[in-house]
Structures are given as C-alpha cells and as structure tokens.
Amino acid sequence: MAETPSDNIFLIEIRLGKTKWRIKRTTEKIARFFSIGEFSEKHPHVTLFGPFSLQKGITVPHLLKTVEEAA
C-alpha cells in the first residue's frame, strides 16, 4: 500500500522562468523516446535542498524567513 504524502515535507527549489518552455519541451522528447513519460518531472526546477521535514517547534513562516535571509 502506498504511503500518503505528509503535509510536513518540504523541498527548496528554483523554478525556471524564461527557459521553462524550452527545458520542458526537451525533457518531454526524452521521456517519449525512452517511454518514461509517467515518471518525468512536470515542473522543471533545480532542487537546492530536500526533501525534508521541519523540526518540532519550527513553523512554515520561520522556514520562509530563513530561506529569504539566505537568498
């Protein structure tokens, strides 16, 4: 039986803006060629960190503030 995703799992990523369509088109071609379309990423991005969960006592606003300060 598959596990349901937790609401406390996070991924810090960079979403690609201007080049998104080009990367998406290329990955779709590769996925079709190798017949792996169901496993391909639907939202092209670069993962910086994660997946991870928050420690007890750490809130989402605290996480957002920390990422903001780091960026």
For 22-36, the pLDDT digits (tens) are: 888 888 899 999 999
2 falls within a domain: no
Average pLDDT, the chain: 85
Closest CA to 54 of 43, 65, 42, 41: 65
Encoded amino acid at 32, one letter = R
14 falls within a domain: yes
Give the pLDDT confidence score for residue 21 in this predicted structure: 83
How many domains is the chain partitioned into structurally?
1
pLDDT band for 6, please (50, 70, 90 cuts): low
Collapse the DSSP code of 15 into the 3-class scheme (helix H, G, I; strand E, B; otherwise coil) and give the result: strand
Domain hosting 53: range is: 9-70
54 falls within a domain: yes
Encoded amino acid at 61, one letter = P
1 falls within a domain: no
| 43 pLDDT higher than 70 | yes
22 falls within a domain: yes
16 falls within a domain: yes
| 1 pLDDT higher than 50 | no
